[in-house]
Chain A
């Protein structure tokens, strides 16, 4: 089980651009490291993440071993209506995670 979270401003004006911050608890194993016994540790990174705003895709990213552990991302979207921002991610092992937050547009 891992934790993911989204941070949004308390409320925004219609048409304003909104900073969306996302954090995912994930080791982002590069595939280049070895364990104490010299055995290669399998690559396991968040492969893909996307963000839906009231069901519509507004942001997506493909990640790999160049991204540090526990990735933190910041992106912007334009506020239209109040509603749900939903984050989905999946890693190389097939583990999936989600997080969501409500955007209030005034």
Chain B
């Protein structure tokens, strides 16, 4: 069983309380909801119908755009993603299910967005895409689509353990003026209402996704920033180490759920 020790520090009036999770070796003792339930189970039937029909899903417009970009050349050698990776249905199958991943030999933790930008700058020798740019979102959606239905399956090992633990710590640390940790909503209160939303378990298997609230397609990091904003905490930058650590932890937490990318959410 999972063991937790709650230590409260009272620091004058601006009380900050920390929830410290004492976990031993690796992810074995880290907690995650069992069984995991995808965010799609917590949305209205109308939004669900949107996601289930590829034609009416606005998210698929981005994946289609990504399919076009896959074949577009860039850089001095005039190479496209396709020049090296050929048929995405084969070469990109399963990629989004196992990211984020430590890149060898640089040691950097890369999510799919960062991996695509690596190829842009190092292989194509072209300018990197901005984080929430339409092109990067479209390519990430298209790469993600090739893993749709596959189980989320990130591996935690010696190489990424420190990053995983940092993500786990962030997930259970209270932040912001509301003094809430991710775990307070997504572990302790899923299924309950928060204003108009039903709180889900906070899984990442649908991202990047179209949100009705945004009237737009956005990255996981944009969604995470919305949660930081919700508790009135300082917003980490999209693509920052902090959000990548969280993403790694969240990927492990989502393990076993089918990839829904490109998903639709409220």
Contacts and interface: CB of A to CB of B under 8 A. Distances in A.
The yes or no verdict on A and B being binding partners is yes
Interface of A: 1-3, 5, 7, 21, 23, 25, 27-28, 68-70, 72
B215 A25 contact: no
A70 B58 CA distance: 7
Contacts of A25: 58, 61-62, 65
A70 B55 contact: no
B87 interface: no
B52 interface: no
B61 A3 contact: yes
Contacts of B56: 21, 23, 72
A27 B65 contact: no
Contact of B215 (A2, A69, A72): A69
Given A27-B215, A27-B216, A69-B216, A3 B64 contact: yes
A68 B212 CA distance: 10
A72 B58 contact: yes
Contacts of B65: 1-3, 25
Per CB-CB distance, the 4 closest pairs between chain A and chain B, nearest first, are A69-B215, A25-B61, A70-B58, A7-B55
Contacts, number: 35
Interface string B60-74: 011011001000000
Interface residues of B, number: 10
B202 to A, nearest CB: 25
A25 B262 CA distance: 15
A73 to B, nearest CB: 11
A5 B64 contact: yes
B58 A5 contact: no
A25 to B, nearest CB: 4
Given A2-B65, A25-B62, 14 more contacts: A1-B65, A3-B62, A5-B61, A21-B56, A23-B58, A23-B61, A27-B216, A28-B215, A68-B215, A69-B58, A69-B215, A69-B216, A70-B58, A72-B56
Contacts of A1: 65, 68
A7 B54 CA distance: 11
B111 to A, nearest CB: 24
Instruction: Report which residue of B55, B62, B65 has the largest number of chain A beta carbons within 10 angstroms of its beta carbon.
Output: B55
A61 to B, nearest CB: 17
A68 B56 CA distance: 13
Nearest to A29: B215
Contacts of B58: 23, 25, 69-70, 72
Contact of B55 (A2, A23, A27, A28): A23
A22 B225 CA distance: 33
A69 B58 CA distance: 9
Interface in B83-119: none
17 contacts: A1-B65, A1-B68, A2-B61, A3-B62, A3-B68, A5-B61, A5-B64, A7-B55, A21-B55, A23-B55, A23-B56, A25-B61, A27-B215, A69-B58, A69-B215, A70-B215, A72-B56
